[in-house]
């Protein structure tokens, strides 16, 4: 039976088949239990993992807000994601199906994955990487990216993946902040048929990165690159050395609270925040959310079409699905290359059963029309997912009707780099409203509140807070615990709530509608960028005196960056200079940060204390009411 729709409330109900096979059958009762007995709920979920030693305390809240989960427990996320499967029939199950943009195909069983990861671990070990170190990974979307992450975790070292779309300054800053001695990269990657010269960017970044001693380079594109003797090593040479292939590599026994990775994300200042996630709570949280929300079954072929360089890829390409023993699809390139049928062709070819992507990708593919997906057999799909920004109802309906053929519920998952996994999300059994992430996941109590912490009325916009800790939460900001407290916990200190930085509302059915960011973060095509990062890239150009960046609505990208620039005295404005500045931001931060346009101005609206009032700039540009201007410098 296809999903049906009620007209009055625009509610979409899952079919009987979907409900019958769902891993969770009862939301309300179980939710109530998970709130009343939070620790018991999570303890039970933690028992699905293999632990070398059981925890003494499920939740230690003695140093709020630095919560600890499964304290005293010992495990390794890689033992759970790989090693334990090798003792079962899953040894020969496909762990990873990878397709490169040029059409090349590589597949790895859990057995093969273990061999690859073990070799990589041995190489890292031979370069001195050990527990307590952080390895920076800057790669295209190739299998070695996942191998490198898992290899670090296997040794008990942390990884810091820097998204391959970032550029020189962004990479150098992250390498430095993490104090990495080893960098893993590739010569390049493919994107829209072109070679993305990653190693060229690395060479520039390493000139500013004194901590790096060794750089491992995977050959992907084969274009000519500079290799510095004594520093740069080809991966394909290293894996032939006796040290790499000594049959295996022991998995380190880590504490539940040992760091698994640092992942940098944008905040309100120019300096990116390195959020720290740990082995124990993160393993429990990602695997539980993945199993319940995406209803993972042994025979599924799961495709999360994000980049592993972002939290979505960390949690739901690599760790969550592998812990659940799933078969994971990974694709290197652009969704519409060489034609807009690329994704649909892959779904047909590999028999994908669950597709999880972003509204921006859906909108991007929707504009090519229905003919492209309609030529393919998409009947294997049973669930769809969305993440990264609010999905507009038009894109939701197209995704539901044309891709899911009215058969596949859409899991619109709200979460963040900081949360580690889904926080507000439907389950397959949840009646859906297009554009709403529906209700909180088990164990999560949320609130939509005003500045004093008072719940706003039904339907009113307020600030989204999370009222109790959850196992997947980031533990701190690397090297800056004060900033962690200040950014997330200071506003509602009295109540002990986590401030998400988003505004939202709840409707009369208890459904949550995310509106957007309330800080100086812009979501461009689902990617998170700080206005301060863009502004500091602009002022690093010799002609710029001051700059401000804002996000304005964009049909495909959700938001697009618009920059306002004050030039230094005597510098002539020109469209050519505007173009040069856009290119400059691209060079410094990366292509996603390239402003849509640059407007030259003589002044910027500021508060009396000198803070740029971006909301004023935004309202003025959109021709809207500017609102309260009492703090504006006149
Ligand atoms: O504004 C929310 C938006 O993305 C932000 C988190 O961005 P990031 O840390 O890059 O993580 C993205 C992937 C988890 C949130 O604060 N966001 C994420 N998912 C949704 C969303 N907005 C609306 N609906 C969503 N499903």
The span from the CA of 493 to the CA of 365, in Å, is 44
Mean pLDDT of 453-476: 97
If one residue of 524, 528, 529, 557 were mutated to test the ligand 1 pocket, choosing by the most ligand atoms within 8 A of its CB, it would be 528
Residue 8: pLDDT over 60:
no
* Closest CA relative to residue 187, chosen from 148, 145, 226: 226
Q: Tell me, in angstroms, the distance from the centre of ligand 1 to residue 51's CA.
A: 31
- Band of residue 96 on the pLDDT scale cut at 50, 70, 90: very high
pLDDT at position 607: 83
Would you say 295 and 326 are in contact if contact means Cβ atoms under 8 Å apart? no
The span from the CA of 439 to the CA of 258, in Å, is 31
pLDDT at position 387: 97
pLDDT at position 634: 56
Mean pLDDT of 483-510: 97
Residue 627: pLDDT over 90:
no
Q: Tell me, in angstroms, the distance from the centre of ligand 1 to residue 614's CA.
A: 21
Mean pLDDT of 584-613: 91
Mean pLDDT of 2-31: 82
If one residue of 523, 529, 559 were mutated to test the ligand 1 pocket, choosing by the most ligand atoms within 8 A of its CB, it would be 523
Give the atom of ligand 1 at the shortest distance from the alpha carbon of 437: 26
Would you say 438 and 432 are in contact if contact means Cβ atoms under 8 Å apart? yes
Mean pLDDT of 308-331: 97
Mean pLDDT of 232-249: 91
Mean pLDDT of 531-551: 93
pLDDT at position 2: 42
Would you say 256 and 71 are in contact if contact means Cβ atoms under 8 Å apart? yes
Mean pLDDT of 89-108: 98
Positions of E strands within 319-426: 327-331, 354-357, 383-386, 410-412
For residues 200 and 615, the model is more confident at 200
Q: What lines the ligand 1 site, CB under 6 Å?
A: 265, 311-312, 387-390, 412-417, 437, 500-502, 514, 517, 523, 528
Residue 383: pLDDT over 60:
yes
Mean pLDDT of 591-600: 95
DSSP 169-196: HHHHHHHHHHT-SEEEEES-EEETTEEE
Q: Tell me, in angstroms, the distance from the centre of ligand 1 to residue 77's CA.
A: 25
- Band of residue 392 on the pLDDT scale cut at 50, 70, 90: very high
**Do strands 68-71 and 74-75 pair parallel, antiparallel, or not at all (unpaired)?**
unpaired
The span from the CA of 120 to the CA of 135, in Å, is 12
Q: Tell me, in angstroms, the distance from the centre of ligand 1 to residue 96's CA.
A: 26
Give the atom of ligand 1 at the shortest distance from the alpha carbon of 417: 9
Mean pLDDT of 288-293: 98
The span from the CA of 85 to the CA of 350, in Å, is 22
- Band of residue 608 on the pLDDT scale cut at 50, 70, 90: confident
Mean pLDDT of 61-83: 98
Would you say 411 and 428 are in contact if contact means Cβ atoms under 8 Å apart? yes
Lowest mean pLDDT segment, chosen from 3-12, 184-193, 194-203, 236-245 = 3-12
User: From atom 15 of ligand 1, which residue's Cα is the shortest distance away?
Assistant: 416
Lowest mean pLDDT segment, chosen from 26-40, 170-184, 433-447, 523-537 = 523-537
Mean pLDDT of 235-256: 92
Q: Tell me, in angstroms, the distance from the centre of ligand 1 to residue 193's CA.
A: 29
- Band of residue 270 on the pLDDT scale cut at 50, 70, 90: confident
First-to-final CA distance of the chain: 63
* Closest CA relative to residue 182, chosen from 159, 198, 164, 154: 159
Mean pLDDT of 40-46: 98
The span from the CA of 310 to the CA of 423, in Å, is 17
The span from the CA of 425 to the CA of 439, in Å, is 6
Q: Tell me, in angstroms, the distance from the centre of ligand 1 to residue 244's CA.
A: 39
Residue 70: pLDDT over 90:
yes
User: From atom 13 of ligand 1, which residue's Cα is the shortest distance away?
Assistant: 388
* Mean pLDDT score across all residues of the chain: 95
Would you say 391 and 435 are in contact if contact means Cβ atoms under 8 Å apart? yes
Q: Tell me, in angstroms, the distance from the centre of ligand 1 to residue 318's CA.
A: 19
Q: Tell me, in angstroms, the distance from the centre of ligand 1 to residue 387's CA.
A: 6
- Band of residue 228 on the pLDDT scale cut at 50, 70, 90: very high
Q: Tell me, in angstroms, the distance from the centre of ligand 1 to residue 145's CA.
A: 23
pLDDT at position 269: 73
Give the atom of ligand 1 at the shortest distance from the alpha carbon of 516: 1
Mean pLDDT of 573-584: 96
pLDDT at position 250: 95
If one residue of 264, 317, 389, 503 were mutated to test the ligand 1 pocket, choosing by the most ligand atoms within 8 A of its CB, it would be 389
Q: Tell me, in angstroms, the distance from the centre of ligand 1 to residue 515's CA.
A: 10
User: From atom 25 of ligand 1, which residue's Cα is the shortest distance away?
Assistant: 414
Residue 267: pLDDT over 80:
no
Lowest mean pLDDT segment, chosen from 203-207, 521-525, 624-628 = 624-628
Give the atom of ligand 1 at the shortest distance from the alpha carbon of 412: 26
Would you say 99 and 346 are in contact if contact means Cβ atoms under 8 Å apart? yes
Would you say 563 and 534 are in contact if contact means Cβ atoms under 8 Å apart? yes
User: From atom 22 of ligand 1, which residue's Cα is the shortest distance away?
Assistant: 389
β-bridge partners, 186: 218
Residue holding tokens 């297009």?
A: 434
Express as a percent the part of the chain with pLDDT over 90.
89
Q: Tell me, in angstroms, the distance from the centre of ligand 1 to residue 414's CA.
A: 6
User: From atom 14 of ligand 1, which residue's Cα is the shortest distance away?
Assistant: 416
- Band of residue 6 on the pLDDT scale cut at 50, 70, 90: very low
- Band of residue 255 on the pLDDT scale cut at 50, 70, 90: very high
Q: Tell me, in angstroms, the distance from the centre of ligand 1 to residue 528's CA.
A: 8
pLDDT at position 5: 44
If one residue of 388, 391, 477 were mutated to test the ligand 1 pocket, choosing by the most ligand atoms within 8 A of its CB, it would be 388
Residue 630: pLDDT over 80:
no
User: From atom 10 of ligand 1, which residue's Cα is the shortest distance away?
Assistant: 528
Express as a percent the part of the chain with pLDDT over 70.
97
- Band of residue 308 on the pLDDT scale cut at 50, 70, 90: confident
């Amino acid at each position: 039976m296809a999903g049906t729709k009620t007209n009055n409330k625009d509610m979409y109900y899952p079919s009987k088949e979907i409900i019958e096979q769902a891993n969770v059958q009862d939301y309300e009762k179980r939710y109530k239990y998970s709130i009343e007995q939070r620790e018991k709920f999570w303890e039970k979920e933690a028992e699905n993992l293999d632990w070398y030693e059981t925890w003494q305390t499920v939740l230690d809240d003695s140093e709020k807000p630095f919560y600890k989960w499964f304290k005293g427990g010992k495990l390794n996320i890689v033992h759970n994601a790989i090693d334990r499967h090798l003792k079962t029939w899953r040894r020969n199950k496909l762990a990873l199906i990878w397709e490169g943009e040029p059409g090349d195909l590589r597949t790895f069983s859990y057995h093969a994955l273990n061999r690859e990861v073990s070799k990589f671990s041995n190489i890292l070990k031979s370069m001195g990487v050990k527990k307590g170190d952080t390895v920076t990974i800057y790669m295209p979307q190739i299998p070695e990216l996942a191998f490198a992450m898992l290899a670090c975790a296997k040794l008990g070292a942390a990884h810091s993946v820097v998204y391959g779309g970032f550029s020189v300054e962004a990479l150098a800053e992250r390498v430095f902040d993490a104090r990495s001695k080893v960098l893993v990269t590739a010569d390049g990657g493919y994107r829209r048929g072109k070679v993305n010269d990653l190693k060229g960017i690395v060479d520039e970044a390493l000139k500013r990165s004194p901590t790096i001693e060794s750089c491992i380079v995977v050959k992907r594109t084969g274009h000519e690159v500079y290799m510095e003797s004594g520093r740069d090593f080809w991966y394909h040479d290293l894996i032939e050395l006796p040290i790499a292939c000594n049959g295996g590599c022991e998995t380190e026994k880590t504490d539940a609270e040992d760091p698994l990775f640092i992942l940098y994300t944008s905040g309100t200042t120019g300096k990116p925040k390195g959020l720290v996630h740990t082995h124990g709570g993160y393993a429990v949280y990602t695997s539980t959310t993945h199993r319940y929300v995406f209803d993972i079954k042994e025979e599924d072929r799961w495709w999360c079409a994000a980049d592993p360089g972002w939290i979505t890829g960390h949690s739901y390409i690599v760790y969550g699905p592998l812990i659940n023993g799933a078969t994971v699809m990974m694709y290197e390139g652009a969704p519409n290359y060489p034609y807009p049928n690329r994704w649909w062709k892959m779904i047909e070819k590999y028999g994908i059963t669950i597709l999880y992507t972003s509204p921006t990708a859906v909108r991007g593919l929707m504009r090519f029309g229905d003919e492209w997906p309609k030529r393919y057999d998409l009947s294997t799909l049973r669930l769809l997912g969305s993440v990264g920004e609010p999905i507009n109802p038009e894109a939701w309906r197209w995704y539901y009707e044309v891709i899911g053929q009215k058969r596949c519920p859409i899991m619109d998952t709200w979460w963040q780099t900081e949360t580690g996994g889904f926080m507000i999300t439907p389950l397959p059994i949840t009646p859906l409203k297009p554009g709403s992430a529906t209700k909180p996941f088990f164990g999560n109590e949320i609130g939509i509140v005003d500045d004093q912490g008072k719940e706003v009325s039904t339907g009113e916009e307020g600030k989204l807070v999370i009222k109790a800790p959850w196992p997947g939460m980031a533990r701190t900001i690397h090297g800056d615990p004060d900033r962690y407290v200040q950014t997330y916990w200071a506003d509602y200190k009295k109540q002990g709530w986590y401030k998400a930085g988003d505004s939202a509302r709840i409707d009369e059915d208890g459904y949550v509608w995310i509106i957007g960011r309330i800080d100086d973060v812009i979501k461009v095509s689902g990617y998170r960028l700080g206005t301060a990062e863009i502004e500091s890239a602009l002022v690093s150009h010799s002609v710029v005196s001051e700059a401000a960046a804002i996000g304005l609505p964009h049909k495909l990208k959700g938001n697009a960056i618009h920059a306002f620039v004050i030039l230094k005295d005597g510098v002539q404005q020109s469209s050519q200079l505007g173009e040069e500045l856009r290119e400059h931001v691209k060079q410094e931060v990366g292509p996603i940060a390239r402003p849509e346009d640059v407007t030259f101005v003589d002044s910027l609206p500021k508060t009396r204390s000198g803070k740029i009032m971006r909301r004023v700039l935004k309202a003025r540009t959109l021709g809207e009411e500017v609102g309260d201007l009492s703090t504006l410098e006149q």
